Amino acid sequence: MVPDAEPATTGATGRLAGKTALVTAAGAGIGRAIAAAFAREGATVRATDIDLAAVESLAASVAGMPGTLTPGRLDVTDTAAIAQLAEELGAIDVLVNCAGFVDDGSILACDEAAWERSNTLNVTSMYRTIRAFLPAMLAQGHGSIINMASVAGAITGVPNRFVYSATKAAIVGLTRSVARDFVDRQIRCNAVCPGTVHTPSWEDRVRASPDPEQAKRDFIARQPMGRLG
């Protein structure tokens, strides 16, 4: 696959026409693909990222699709910025939490700063966005929250992914709790647990390894389908 390629409108069904969605970390990788797919299906999308230029390029690439996509800068570690965005957008139909960070190493390589960094970005950011946007979803009587977890930690153990795995397992617990608390009020909360996906961040990790070609082979060997997503 070509990382960050935007889908064409061929085959679009318009199933998200009239829906509003917020996607975090939409500048690259999975978040970018989700935001583009939502626009393709007719949604009104606010695509956010800490890198404004990245979501601006996304907006340009999806121009002409059935939906609309508005780029915006959002630091998901900034509680005040999240609250301000929630006030601006009001009730939305879909919240997609994609922001995250992969920190390598075992527990012995994870000092407290690394622990705090990964937990803040991978887990606390979702706590903050859900807390900010859930009340308006409840008021309108429906909503869907999608949290990006991972096979690592949530499904199985992966070598040298200690803090990443711990945070992704925490996301599953967070998701289950929110889902159970609000299912009777028409709120759906689900976690997606992908394997390794060919994204710019994956390419960065491969290039940073001592033997990039071996690193690629190792990643692929861990995938049940024998290929990257």
Q: Write out the catalytic residue numbers.
A: 164
Tell me phi and psi for residue 87, to 5 degrees. Answer: -65, -40
Q: Could you tell me which of 93, 49, 41 has the C-alpha nearest to residue 68?
A: 41
Q: Is 77 exposed, middle or buried (0-12, 13-18, 19+ CB in 10 A)?
A: middle
Q: Which two tokens stand for residue 74?
A: 């959002």
Count of CB atoms situated within 10 Å of the CB of 164: 22
Q: Could you tell me which of 118, 119, 74, 116 has the C-alpha nearest to residue 95?
A: 74
User: What residues form DSSP beta bridges with 189?
Assistant: 145
Q: Are 4 and 203 in contact (CB under 8 A)?
A: no
